[in-house]
Structure 1
Amino acid sequence: MAIQKIIEVLSIKDYFLLFILIFATYVFNFYHKYLTRPNPLPGPLPLPFIGNLHNVAHDLKLFFEECQLKYGDICEIMLDGHRWIILSRPDYVENFMSSKCLKRFPYSEGLVEFGFYGHGVAGNDDYKSWKYNKQFFNQALLVPKFMDNAIKSTNNLFEELRGYWQSLGKQNISNHNKDNWILETDFSAWFHAFTNDIISIIAIGERTYSIASYYNTQSTVKSDHPDALVEDGNKFVKSVINNIEGIIFFMVVGQFWRHYVPIVRNKANFYLKNRDYLFEKMDFMIKKRRKEIEEMPMGTEMRTDMLTSLIIANTEKGTTNIKAVGDETFEPMIDEEIISNLLEAFEGGTETTANSICYIVYNLCKYPNVKQKMISEIDSIFSNKSYLTSDDLSKLKYCEAIIKEANRMIPISNFVTRYMIEDCEVAGYKWAAGTLFHLNLAGVHNHPKVWPNPEVFDPDRFYNVDHGDDKQLENKYSLLIFGGGPRICPGRKLAMCELLLLMTSIYRYFNVELVDMHEPLKIAALTTNNVLEMKVRISPRIN
């Protein structure tokens, strides 16, 4: 009754003053906490409610570069209520990267709501569960003949791509000159489609028909694949891309905004609906494949895709049992975890490989002497072979150096996040457990104290130096193509294999030149440096 009387007495002006008082109290407490934080570092001033979200929303790579130039190799920002320490020097990274007392990120209510946190490998910060999933994931990639199957599938898919390029090139020229065609096209679009196709074959044993779909949009002559298959594959690929966006959205946008601000809430609901569709689609694939496996007689040779490997691991039809902690043997993987691991394969193996091959080709166009040296190596290995094996790929040392240098110049990811669960010392400061570190990969990969002339594309820095069996620099965290430490990317061997095979396939058969040598690479720089467009001229190579 007393509260009701108070409400009745208050006027609109009183409510307004109360709101101002609450707001001012929040702002005062926000900045008091900020100004009295331990180990204060330089950095852009955060704003109440949103922190530094307004700074990073447009171009994350540029923002990190500006922070490093303005504030140095260690600075800080605030996102979603957490203090993020940005490190841009390799020796700072080395101090804690190999530690077991770190996670990828702190508990996230948003990622729990989205169903990402606590599952699979990338989103899992429970050590036992993470190791369990990582060993399943590793086994799926190390099944006998898995790499050979990946190489064979890539070769076959490239032959189809090769046919599409020839078809498009010949459509644009007169009948009497069919052998000297030139195709102006978007290289990025082709290889985003290509990697969607190949990771789908590797992960679930089925295609998304992405390159056929893109060919159909460019050609007057359609592909031989049924329209229904192409359309269904397109829908699935778009859903995977939306799911990646959803993970980022639920990571950085707070609960209040997602639940109560109309425009933001609608976006959150869209991502949740897309997630549900994707999970239902993957669940159907798993149940269908599981039933097929159950009906197979013992001893039947299995397909070598990840889906099959994850289903049969720790079963009578599997080849090995997985032990993760001590002598404890885990049960077969449940469908929910299979979905998480397969989605990570799609999300980690499509955009990254597509963008990386674009960085490589872009720099090769800019540096013809490097390209010619690479072609000489490719020709020496190819000789009279139509297809390369994994043994052949291991001999492509200069091509491997080009991959490393291209990814040093433009990292796939703009940052790697690590969250310490124990007290630690980094960059001369003592940090309490719960500190969140942001590794600025562009800053690390281009630091002048580690890399002479970092702005110059020079694969010889990786080719002419004997780095030992692992081919690592003296400071092994000065190049973080696949991350580092215990949480290094489990698919790194497959990714390198795919990139080497794509390089050799492209330059064995084609000349590739930029349409405009002066045009910079069009990149959307958020969590990854995603190539939006790369116009090239493709023509058949005359040996």
Structure 2
Amino acid sequence: MAIQNIISLIYTVDYYLLFIAIITIYIFNFYYKYFNRPNALPGPIPLPFIGNFHNLLYDPKKFYEQCQNKYGDISELSLDRRFILLTRPEYFEKLFDRKLFFMRQSYNQGLEEIGMFGHGIAFNENYENWKPNSKFFMDTFVAQKFMDNAVNCTNNLYKELSDYWQSLGKQNTSNNNNDNWTLETDFTKWLHGFTNDIVSIIITGERTYSIAAYYNTLSCKKSEYPDAIVEDGDRFVKSIVKYIQGLMLFSSTGSFVRQYIPIIKNKSVDYLKNRDYLFEKLDKIIQKRKEEIKKMTIDKEMRTDMLTSLITANTNLKDSNDEELKPIADIEIRGNILDAFLGGTDTTTNLFCFITYFICKNPHVKQKMLSEIDCILTSDKSYVSYNDLQKLRYCEAIIKETSRLVPVIPVGHRLITEEYEIAGYKWPPGTHFMLNFSGIHTHPKIWPDPEVFNPDRFYNDDLDDKKLGDKSALCIFGGGRRICPGRRLAMVELLSLMALVFKNYYVELVNKNEPLKLVTLMTTTCQELKVRISPRTDLLI
């Protein structure tokens, strides 16, 4: 028995020594490769196994800022691979070259598993598949008929939002006929509901009833819509939010981690179940619309929404000589719809929250904005036209300045597919770059007083973009071939909301000394924005 124990101990020691030896060899090899890497750049030294992931856990945006301050406009970090972090407009411009690069990343098995890689445009790295989808987005979102429909939908939805605010405000007062009510509320919740509803209408022609769902949680009176419809829409929206969370997990973890690490495994299974529900829901919406189109008579005008355009695209080829045009497959329709939801809801919501915060923190900006809005919207304070939006130059300047200080997308990504020179170094194919939008937007060598909120830098003729440096110094919507195809629609929504909300309501921060509550992951998100809303009594008739 004693001999067996000794042998067992030897085996245990051997296994322990073998494990230590393997770890030691791995660490030695890891740092040998790191310190002998080509084009070595300054940057935080990575740790074995996790690289610089630990630096990103607290605040990625702050980490990129620290890298810029400590290492300069070009540095590097290690995540699941080597990334070159850039903060110079001339570097951006090279990677935005339309003739050379469009890829954001190499193949990602996790994104394929969750159903996004290779479909739509956001996560599609196959150029031949991406190009027609991108062209469709561009053509759709610049069409005047589409823009007019977006403005009309925004007006109608704002009227409902305003009615809910008035209802809640009057419920909180002793006199229900009193128009001098005040409502303290979380602006982010209302804006999430609004953008979910408006994007759903513009994209699919159907509502999610998100505003009504949130109103029902606050009010003793319920909305006029049936509970079943509101609950179904609310579940659909929550499924999209959950899908975004799944995208972050699946894109940043390996297959082994998702399948065998207990907590992550359970989350992965849950996200895949949610994916199946969401895809089934979208497929039903697509099939329903197809059936409606089949039953339409020739003299009936087509509905103006993205889904209808996707279904009918390239189907009427009698007058076309292009034999290569084919109807868009359902899987691509679904991918494009998902892209529109993912890119058109959270980004618009968060940017409008940031806009509201800076307007309320700067009374002189607010007064100048109100003067412009009141001057242009003189006839009907509950409706704004597309032509009105073109005149809101100072409002547009506020949007640009807000996006400069707090970009919703803090970094962009590019993957080069051929050898290319940047910053005096020749980089091999397969090199990954991170474009530090947040850093370049506050670069002291590009922007005068970069930390000051000053919309005039985008408003005055003597402070136009040409005098602010390179055209890539402001990347609100990215750049190059990957520039956001919905940027015009986003501006229309933001300008419409600014005009309608601030024309009709006083909006103030509940706590003026409280900083923005931000969380940065793939995007910069406003967690909460407590505001005090009341009618502009000087405009009441």
TM-score by length of 1: 0.94
Runs of 4+ deviating beyond 6 Å:
7-10, 318-321
Q: Give the conservation status (yes or no) of the 8 Å contact 1:409–1:446.
A: yes
Partner of 1:522: 517
Alpha-carbon spacing, 1:200–1:513, altered in 2? closer, same or farther (3 Å): same
Is 1:62 matched up with 2:57?
no
Give the secondary-structure state (helix, strand or coil) at the position aligned to 2:214. helix
1:334-372 Cα shifts (integer Å, max 9, x gaps)? 000011100010000000110111111100001111111
Query: In the alignment, what sits opposite 2:100?
Result: 101
- The counterpart of 1:412, out of the listed 391, 408, 413, is 408
Tell me whether 1:440 sits opposite 2:439 in the alignment: no
In the TM superposition, 1:137-148 aligns within 5 A as 137-143=137-143, 145-148=145-148
Partner of 1:487: 482
For residue 354 of structure 2, what is the amino acid of its counterpart?
A: Y
Is the 1:143–1:309 Cα contact (8 Å) retained in structure 2?
no
Q: Does 1:353 align with 2:348?
A: yes
- SS of corresponding position for 1:275: helix
Change (3 A) 1:365 1:467: closer
2:488 counterpart letter in structure 1: K
Cross-structure match for 1:378: 373
The one-letter code matched in structure 2 to 1:98 is D
> How far 1:441 sits from its partner (Å)?
1.1
**CA distance change for structure 1 residues 319 and 139 in 2, over 3 Å: closer, same or farther?**
farther
Q: Which moved more, 1:399-408 or 1:69-78?
A: 69-78
Match of 2:338 in 1: 343
Offset at residue 177 of structure 1 (A) = 6.8
Where 1:175 maps in the other structure, the secondary structure is coil
Q: CA deviation at 1:143?
A: 4.8
AA aligned to 2:510 is: V
Residues 78 and 126 (structure 1), Cα distance of their counterparts in 2 relative to 1, 3 Å cut: same
Superposed counterparts of 1:221-300, under 5 Å: 221-300=221-300
CA separation of 1:467 and 1:344: change in aligned 2, threshold 3 A: farther
1:117 CA drift (Å)? 1.3
Secondary structure at the residue paired with 1:329? coil
SS at 2:461 equivalent? coil
**Secondary structure of the residue that 1:106 maps to in structure 2?**
coil
Residue aligned with 2:471, SS? coil
Q: How far 1:141 sits from its partner (Å)?
A: 2.6
- 1:397 and 1:510 map into 2 onto residues whose CA distance is 20
Partners of 1:319 and 1:252 lie apart in 2 by 46
Distance 1:135 1:467, change over 3 A: farther
Partners of 1:57 and 1:64 lie apart in 2 by 12
Contact 2:447 2:468 in 1 (8 A): no
Report the counterpart of residue 429 of structure 1 in structure 2: 425
User: Which position in structure 2 is the counterpart of 1:461?
Assistant: 457
Instruction: Quote the offset at 1:478 in angstroms.
Output: 0.6
Give 3-state SS (helix, strand or coil) of 2:409's partner: coil
Q: Separation in 2 of the partners of 1:249 and 1:320?
A: 47
Question: Are the aligned partners of 1:186 and 1:534 in contact in 2 as well (CA < 8 Å)?
Answer: yes
More off after superposition, 444-453 vs 133-142? 133-142
The more displaced of 251-260 and 232-241 is 251-260
Superposition pairs of residues 199-214 of structure 1, within 5 angstroms: 199-214=199-214
Larger mean CA deviation between 12-21 and 251-260 belongs to 12-21
Give the alignment partner of residue 536 of structure 1, picking from 515, 531, 536. Answer: 531
| C-alpha distance in structure 1 between counterparts of 2:483 and 2:143, whole Å | 20
- Which amino acid is 1:302 matched to? M
Q: Residues 71-90 of structure 1 correspond to what in structure 2 (within 5 A)?
A: 71-80=71-80, 82-90=81-89
**Matched letter for residue 94 of structure 2:** N
1:302-313 correspondence to structure 2 within 5 Å? 302-313=302-313
* Displacement of 1:29: 1.6
CA contact (8 A) 2:188 2:527 kept: yes
Deviation sequence 1:64-115 (CA, Å, 0-9, x none): 11221222221111112x1011112222212322243321112212222222
Residues 170, 176 of structure 2: 8 Å contact kept: no
CA contact (8 A) 1:213 1:230 kept: yes
- Structure 2 counterpart of 1:367: 362
1:133, distance to aligned residue in structure 2 (A): 1.0
- C-alpha distance in 2 between matches for 1:198 and 1:16: 60
After superposition, what is the alpha-carbon deviation per residue over 1:254-302, rounded to whole angstroms, capped at 9, x for unaligned? 2221121111111221211111111111011111111111222234311
Tell me by how many angstroms 1:466 deviates: 6.7
Q: Identify if the C-alpha distance between structure 1 residues 319 and 184 changes in structure 2 by more than 3 Å, giving closer, same or farther.
A: farther
Matched, 1:387 2:387: no
Kindly tell me: are residues 502 and 51 of structure 1, through their superposed partners in 2, closer, same or farther at Cα, counting changes over 3 Å? same
- Residue 11 of structure 1 aligns to a residue whose secondary structure is helix
Other structure's SS at 2:387 match: helix
Output the amino acid matched with 2:427. W
**What is the number of equivalent residue pairs in this alignment?**
530
Which digits, 9 at most, give the CA deviation of each residue in 1:24-54, with x for residues without a partner?
2222221111111111111122122221112
**One-letter amino acid of the counterpart of residue 505, structure 1:** L
CA contact (8 A) 2:351 2:408 kept: yes
Q: Residue by residue, what CA displacement relative to the aligned partner does 1:104-144 show, whole Å, maximum 9, x if unpaired?
A: 11221222222211111111111111101112222333455
The answer to whether the 8 A contact 1:139-1:309 is kept is: no
Q: Is the 8 A contact 2:183 2:534 kept in 1?
A: yes
2:175 aligns with 175
Shift of 1:319: 11
Secondary structure of the residue that 1:302 maps to in structure 2? Answer: coil
3-state SS of paired residue (1:221): coil
Alignment partners' CA distance in 2, 1:101 and 1:299: 46
Partner of 1:3: none
The answer (yes or no) to whether the contact 2:384–2:500 under 8 Å persists in 1 is no
Q: String of CA shifts for 1:229-269, please: whole Å, max 9, x gaps.
A: 11111111111111111112111112221121111111221
Taking every aligned residue pair, what percent have the same amino acid on both sides? 57
Partners of 1:85 and 1:436 within 8 A in 2:
yes
1:332 to 327, 334, 343: 327
Q: Is the 8 A contact 1:140 1:310 kept in 2?
A: no
Q: Deviations over 1:407-456 (max 9, x none)?
A: 10100111111111111121222211111111111101000111000111
Checking the alignment, whether the CA contact within 8 Å between 1:58 and 1:526 is kept in structure 2 is no
Shift of 1:542: 2.1
2-structure distance, mates of 1:304, 1:382: 26
Q: Which amino acid aligns with 1:412?
A: V
Deviates more, 1:488-497 or 1:171-180: 171-180
Aligned counterpart, 2:4: none
CA 1:471–1:332 in 2, change beyond 3 Å: closer, same or farther?
A: farther
- In structure 1, distance between residues paired with 2:460 and 2:442: 19
Instruction: Return 5+ residue gaps in structure 1 as ranges.
Output: 1-6
**Structure 2 vs 1, CA of residues 149 and 262 (structure 1 numbering), >3 Å: closer, same or farther?**
same
* Distance in 2 (alpha carbons) for counterparts of 1:328 and 1:14: 69
CA distance in 1, matches of 2:200, 2:268: 27
Measured after TM superposition, the shift of residue 519 of structure 1 is: 0.1
